Amino acid sequence: MLWESSTLCHLELISNIHRQRDSIINEVCDEQADEVADTANLHGEYELRGCKQQNELDSTRYIVRSQVILGTSLCRKCLPQQLSRLSRLQNLNLSFNYLTGEIPVNLSHCVNLKSLVLEHNALLGKIPNQQSTNAPFEDNQFVGTLPHSTVNLSSQLQRLLYYGNKISGSIPIGLTGTIPQQLFSLSSLTDIYVSYNSLTGPLLVYIGNWSHLTYLDFSHSNFSGMIPRTLGKCLALEEIYLKGNSLQGTIPNLEDLPDLQSLDLSLNNLSGPIPHFIANLTSLLYLNLSFNNLEDEVPVTRIFSNLSADV
């Protein structure tokens, strides 16, 4: 059984169709079957892309020494409970399958798990506690609140994706409040997608701690209050999407973001003049300030001609 492997580190099961319990590899990858059958000396990554595996992975042929990528191979049903037995698993990618049901609670037993990718399935229920450093959960049907483990993630977390779900409440904190300060201590974070949920509360000044952040998407999440001035300290930012919230006040100074390419603050309650620093954002390609209460006009002529602006 695959689940007997105590040394498996990387399991990637993307875009699969499973129908027959007894079939592991179909004619697409028959030529690889003999190689896979003998894994006694297999090291590194082994790819089985293009296979249409039919149901459960139930062959000892996949017990490998270090890593295996099963590039099209899971079932059109629930996640198996046995995943938790892969004690050394570090990377698990189950995206673009027909998975339904809930994520097994005992998946948290995979204490070495660094990357858990479950995007584009039909998973239900609540997001489990986990300690992944790469957490894309977008485009499922998760409900409830974000797990408390979100604020206890490794300081090496780089990607946090929760958009396209039905998550409600505030970003979790062990005590009270809205967005916990602990979340902003994840200094290695490069991408955060938390759009299209029902989160609440203000964006805190600690957002400036994300010094490596390149992509920020908090769109359509009911955030309120002012945009923190410290957003201008995230010097690596390339894309900012805060549209569809209830943000108020003026647009903070973002002049020190030399790589900023996209800025979308539309569908908020921002007021005051459109800041002149926008004319100095020479990397800016997309600007959307529409449906606010802003004054004046954007000095588009001072920005190079390939800017796409909607104000």
Q: What is the DSSP string of 85-127?
A: G-TT--EEE--SS--BSB--GGGGG-TT--EEE--SS--BSPP
Lowest mean pLDDT among 18-27, 120-129, 225-234: 18-27
CATH number of the domain residue 197 falls in: 3.80.10.10
Share of the chain above pLDDT 70, in %: 35
Asked whether residue 114 is domain-assigned, the answer is no
Domain that holds residue 304: 125-311
Per-residue tokens: 209:
């701690």
140: burial class by Cβ within 10 Å (0-12, 13-18, 19+)?
buried
* Same domain as 152, residue 31: no
Q: Token pair of 149, please?
A: 């483990």
Number of domains in the chain: 2
Residues 147 and 52 placed together within one structural domain of the fold? no
Highest mean pLDDT among 61-70, 133-142, 268-277: 268-277
- Render 247-292 in DSSP notation, one character per residue: EEEPPPP-TT-TT--EEE--SSEEEEEPPGGGGG-TT--EEE--SS
- Span of 11-15, 72-76, 296-300 with lowest mean pLDDT: 72-76
Better pLDDT: 137 or 184: 184
3-state SS, residue 34: helix
For residue 1, tell me if it sits in a domain. Answer: yes
Tokens linked to 79: 């996640």
- Same-domain check for residues 33 and 84: yes
User: Is position 175 within any domain?
Assistant: yes
Among candidate residues 254, 263, 200, 251, the one with its CA nearest the CA of residue 231: 254
93 part of a folded domain? yes
Q: Sign of the C-alpha dihedral, residues 165, 169, 174, 177?
A: positive
- Say how far apart CA 218 and CA 224 lie, in whole Å: 11
Report which listed range, 10-24, 230-244, 296-310, is most confident: 230-244
Confidence band for 270, pLDDT divided at 50, 70 and 90: very high
Same domain, 92 and 200: no
Same domain, 15 and 91: yes
Question: Quick one: tokens of 112?
Answer: 């070495």
Residue 157 — very low, low, confident or very high, per pLDDT cuts 50/70/90?
Answer: very low
Return mean pLDDT, the chain: 62
Q: Which residue, of 44, 79, 98, is where some domain finishes?
A: 98
- How far apart are the C-alpha atoms of 247 and 226, rounded to whole Å? 6
Based on the fold, state whether residues 172 and 248 are members of the same structural domain.
yes
Domain assignment present for residue 67? The answer is yes
Count of Cβ atoms closer than 10 Å to residue 249 Cβ: 13
Give how far Cα 70 sits from Cα of 120, 176, 286, Å: 18, 43, 39
Alpha helices in the chain (DSSP H): 33-37
Model pLDDT, residue 245: 92
Of 52-56, 85-89, 130-134, the poorest mean pLDDT is in: 52-56
Of the candidates 52, 81, 98, which is a domain's last residue? Answer: 98
pLDDT category at 76 given cuts 50, 70, 90 is very low
- On whether residue 116 sits in a domain, the answer given is no
Q: Do both 44 and 184 map to the same domain?
A: no
Is residue 139 located within the same domain as residue 93?
no
| Residue 240 neighbours by CB under 8 Å, 6+ apart | 216, 231, 254, 260, 262, 263, 264, 265
Q: 123 Cβ partners below 8 Å, 6+ apart?
A: 79, 99, 100, 101, 102, 103, 140, 141, 142
